[in-house]
């Protein structure tokens, strides 16, 4: 369980590239899916960032929630 929590903080490919081989498959899959959704939203129409901007708040909210959960677990 601790190993799983270790990777929940990962937010960018730059932070994860060294640990991808160590990530549990379900966390790796979720990480790739989130990154892919954002890239698809942006590159579908790079001149119009509306799709990317629509995706970004939800992504940031999920990241904040993960950070808050990690902080709560650390405090316990």
User: Where exactly are the structural domains of the chain?
Assistant: 2-75
Residue 71 — pLDDT band, cuts 50, 70, 90?
Answer: confident
> Are 34 and 62 contacting, i.e. CB atoms less than 8 angstroms apart?
yes
pLDDT value at residue 2: 46
Tens-place pLDDT, residues 33-70? 877 777 776 666 666 667 667 777 777 888 888 888 88
pLDDT value at residue 14: 54
> Residue 19 has what DSSP assignment?
T
Helices (H), the chain: 2-7, 13-16, 25-43, 50-75
pLDDT value at residue 1: 43
Q: What is the rounded average pLDDT for all residues in the chain?
A: 70
């Amino acid at each position: 369980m601790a190993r799983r929590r270790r990777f929940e903080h990962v937010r960018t490919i730059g932070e994860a590239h060294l640990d991808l081989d160590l990530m549990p498959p379900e966390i790796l899959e979720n990480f790739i899916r989130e990154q892919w959704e954002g890239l698809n939203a942006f590159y579908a129409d790079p001149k119009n960032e509306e799709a990317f901007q629509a995706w970004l708040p939800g992504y940031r909210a999920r990241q904040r929630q993960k950070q808050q959960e990690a902080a709560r677990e650390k405090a316990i």
